[in-house]
Structure 1
Amino acid sequence: MRGHRHDRPRMDPRDLWSEALAGVLARPVRSALTTLGTVLGIGTLVITIGVASTAANQIVGRFDALTATSVSVVVPVRAPGSTDPALVPWSGADAVARLAGVESAAALSESDETTSVQVRTNDVVAPGTVTGQTLAVVSATTTLPAAVHGTMASGRFFDAGDVARHDRVAVLGDQAARLLGIDDVRRAPAVFLAGQSFTVIGVLEGIRREPRLSASVILPPTTGADRMGLKNVSRVLVNTSLGAARQVARQAPIALAPGHEEALTVLAPPDLSKARTGVQGDVNGLFLVLGLVSLVVGAIGIANVTLVTVMERVGEIGLRRALGASRRQVAGQFLVESTAIGLLGGVVGAAVGVAVVVSVSGVRQWTPVLDPRLALGAPVAGALVGLLAGLYPSLRAARLEPVDALRSPT
């Protein structure tokens, strides 16, 4: 009596996995070499995405922190439609300093008339000799050293008392001090600006922001207004916490000139998130193709080896079919074998990729950035590659008829 198709014994999944594992381990060297292609493909993908993410994350850290946290507000001569030239008061820097995310702020007054002032260390003019230097003269609030990231090389910066008393004191930038031959302010040396004497009370050095101030003479705002005509604030320098610059840039004009904030020009750093995304995209685009090519090569290798295995095991396939194995069971065995090879390659490739990313980050002193989904998804991708690569060989094995397979000389 002819048996029906549904009467054939069904293969237990555990038996299927054990048969597939036995097939893989029967030729360990070939299986290892086949797995190597998937390892290279998955490993390259993990390394590419991991290094790209890590490098992009370093933008904020490697980006010049001074630039990323510096905000400048340029103040025009007067507000549109107003006859009062004092658009921003000197106390405006204190208002900005109270904003969230602001670490320091200072107001400056500059003018075209004081960009080139003859500065002398004495009031004696000897014919034929150079007794002075042409320097810029500015006035600033007492918070200027913090705003320009400078330190006092000698003496002190003027304070609120000097401002309130309209003291005729001055602070020199370090380059200005060298040009004038002043390296010690303990004896209260004097400089002469437009025929007026000012006592030098300090030398400011290490000016990282606004380096041109290193060749300037800095006066208190009241003294600058009285003696040099520096009455109005022309710029406000703001230092922010990392990541707060753009928010402060929106709020600072309102704090400085309520009702006339549109008249102010704000210079803020670029958006670092866009730069990070751009770098990550560039790195991914550069190396992702290499990873995909390696993965395709690995898939072709798995397909080729699986097909060769099918041809070598024609007799085994015929025997299994003669003993009642269905086409689906035969195809399933070879699909499981190719999937197992791909899965193994994915696991090893992911481990190698993670190790390389961590090693590169350690050598470069970076903080490694790895998406857990990448490490967990790599083995799944490897198994999928193996599954797709084994489709054709498994279908070819399933098409073999038992009689033809048993008659095969192989």
Structure 2
Amino acid sequence: MKRSSSGRRARRASTGRSRLSLRDLLSESVAGILQRPARSVLTALGTVLGVGAFIAVLGLTGTAASQIDTRFSKLTATEVNVEDTGGQDSARVPLAFPEDAEKRVSRLNGVEAAGVYWRVRLGPNDPVRGAPIGMANGADSQTQVIAASSGVLDAAHSRFAEGLPYSEFHDRYRQQVAVLGQATAARLGITTLRTMPAIFIGDTPFTVIGIVKDVDRKPDILMSVVIPRSTAEAIWGPPSDTRAQMLISTHLGAASQVSKQVAVALRPEHPEYFNAVPPPDPKSLRTAVGNDLGQLFLVLAGVSLVIGAVGIANTTLVAVMERTAEIGLRRALGARGIHILLQFLAESAALGLVGGLAGTSIGSVAVVSVSVAKQWTPILSPVTLMSAPVLGLLTGILAGLYPAWRASRIPPVEALRR
């Protein structure tokens, strides 16, 4: 007995336990992947899409948030709206804005342009027409008429397809001129200003001197007929059913201060007649929009990663079934269960890592391409770029755990029988 046990120990010492070096593990994993390259590419595709979506989501969300901040700084953060409250009900004035309201406001530091406007209330017998009564063009009862001082068109950053905006001269002398939005002009049958066209509001003619094709503020101009404030007040009187308002365009950073000063500048004796609305905080809105976009697209990226993980798990499981004989041969030659587990786990991890690297590249290219097309500045965090391949690696490891464990549990005798 002593000789027998000592002989077994001697044989065990001479042969040693089976070992699997890191070099052998990597070479076996690469060989397993390259054995069926088409299947490996399709298996990694899910991870590529998931990681690519992850990079694109974070990159485009950051880029879009930056653009939101920029646009709000240039437009919303430079806009002040002043509402005419008219005072208390007992002493309510129909129009609190003085005739020289624009000049008073323009003296404030930081003001670019300002103008008073209101919607003109037309009677049932005062439709807007593109021709006199009895001619081809019928009445348009859907078109609204806006009474506005010349500064409104400047404050709205109006861009003209044809013609020009009216000026302070037209305001001062109550000229019967009109500026049309492009859609309104087409609806009234006015396609060019070369023929010096006119429109009729009721029986009153107005010469069309400009057609607006786009604005940065107050988009209802594009669907309206805009006439001088003084002309509208002379024909239809001050606003009745709606209160007048003032649109102010300021330099960047001046809107908040202008909103505090404008009521006193308009009427020092009655600043309570006005309510100045300062621009909203762009930072809070940018954060809200960025969070909404991030949550939405991260869910899509997570779904893609789950699909990629399922694909890797399914392919690895099929590979285990197809390579049962190989597993049995390795076990018969001395490979342990842990070696089989590590081999298949390394293959799935490699697929996940390759998919993560490819997805990172594709996502980065997508962010840069969209930014170039939109003339944005792309924003990609180095932390995101470094973590994306790791995310693909973890996806591959998690997806390959069960198939690798199942492969390690196959008995050698049963495997060789197959």
TM class, shorter-length: 0.5 to 0.7
Query: 1:295 maps to what in 2?
Result: 309
Once the two structures are superposed, the pairs formed by residues 123-134 of structure 1 within 5 Å of their partners are none
What are the superposed Cα offsets for residues 281-337 of structure 1, whole Å, 9 maximum, x if unpaired? 44554575344223212123224425654651333334345xxxx765665455434
Matched, 1:158 2:167: yes
Once the two structures are superposed, the pairs formed by residues 121-270 of structure 1 within 5 Å of their partners are 140-148=148-156, 149-151=158-160, 157-159=166-168, 166-174=172-180, 203-206=209-212, 208=215, 209-211=219-221, 215-220=225-230, 229-230=237-238, 234-239=244-249, 248=255, 254-257=260-263, 260=272, 263=275
SS in 2 for 1:347: helix
Matched, 1:35 2:45: no
Matched, 1:24 2:36: no
Q: Choose from 388, 412, 417 the match for 1:378.
A: 388
* TM-score, length basis structure 1: 0.61
Q: Choose from 375, 382, 388 the match for 2:398.
A: 388
Counterpart of 1:203 in structure 2: which amino acid?
A: I
Structure 1 gaps of 5+ residues are: 120-126
Counterpart of 1:204 in structure 2: which amino acid?
A: G
Assess if the C-alpha contact under 8 Å between 1:37 and 1:299 holds in 2: no
Assess if the C-alpha contact under 8 Å between 1:20 and 1:337 holds in 2: no
Distance 1:31 1:19, change over 3 A: farther
Counterpart of 2:309 in structure 1: which amino acid?
A: L
Aligned residues: 372
Assess if the C-alpha contact under 8 Å between 2:325 and 2:415 holds in 1: no
Report the CA distance between 1:75 and its aligned residue.
Answer: 1.9
Assess if the C-alpha contact under 8 Å between 1:79 and 1:263 holds in 2: no
Report the CA distance between 1:348 and its aligned residue.
Answer: 3.4
Report the CA distance between 1:235 and its aligned residue.
Answer: 1.2
Q: Residues of 1 paired with 2:312 and 2:249: CA distance?
A: 53
Distance 1:25 1:36, change over 3 A: same
Query: 1:76 maps to what in 2?
Result: 85
Report the CA distance between 1:27 and its aligned residue.
Answer: 4.2
Distance 1:20 1:99, change over 3 A: farther
Report the CA distance between 1:43 and its aligned residue.
Answer: 1.5
The share of aligned pairs that are identical, in percent, is 21
Q: Residues of 2 paired with 1:304 and 1:60: CA distance?
A: 46
Query: 2:268 maps to what in 1?
Result: none
Distance 1:290 1:398, change over 3 A: closer
Distance 1:319 1:147, change over 3 A: same
Q: Residues of 2 paired with 1:234 and 1:313: CA distance?
A: 85
Q: Residues of 1 paired with 2:367 and 2:378: CA distance?
A: 7
Q: Choose from 38, 46, 53 the match for 1:48.
A: 53
SS in 2 for 1:78: coil
Q: Residues of 1 paired with 2:355 and 2:330: CA distance?
A: 26
Counterpart of 2:263 in structure 1: which amino acid?
A: A
Q: Residues of 1 paired with 2:43 and 2:55: CA distance?
A: 18
Query: 2:327 maps to what in 1?
Result: 313
Distance 1:400 1:264, change over 3 A: closer
**Range that drifts further, 76-85 or 373-382:** 76-85
User: Root-mean-square deviation (CA), in Å?
Assistant: 5.9
Report the CA distance between 1:26 and its aligned residue.
Answer: 3.6
Assess if the C-alpha contact under 8 Å between 1:335 and 1:394 holds in 2: yes
Matched, 1:336 2:308: no
Distance 1:301 1:128, change over 3 A: closer
Q: Residues of 2 paired with 1:128 and 1:308: CA distance?
A: 87
**Range that drifts further, 145-154 or 224-233:** 224-233
Assess if the C-alpha contact under 8 Å between 2:40 and 2:351 holds in 1: yes
Report the CA distance between 1:211 and its aligned residue.
Answer: 2.6
Q: Residues of 2 paired with 1:39 and 1:295: CA distance?
A: 9
* TM-score, length basis structure 2: 0.60
Report the CA distance between 1:374 and its aligned residue.
Answer: 4.5
Distance 1:337 1:251, change over 3 A: same
Q: Residues of 2 paired with 1:308 and 1:327: CA distance?
A: 17
SS in 2 for 1:157: coil
Assess if the C-alpha contact under 8 Å between 1:80 and 1:263 holds in 2: no
What are the superposed Cα offsets for residues 137-186 of structure 1, whole Å, 9 maximum, x if unpaired? 86644423312415595577333x777xx545454225899899x96899
Q: Choose from 340, 351, 361 the match for 1:351.
A: 361
Matched, 1:108 2:117: yes
SS in 2 for 1:206: strand
Counterpart of 1:106 in structure 2: which amino acid?
A: G
Counterpart of 1:256 in structure 2: which amino acid?
A: V
Structure 2 gaps of 5+ residues are: 1-5, 265-270
Distance 1:142 1:392, change over 3 A: closer
Report the CA distance between 1:22 and its aligned residue.
Answer: 2.4
Distance 1:294 1:263, change over 3 A: same
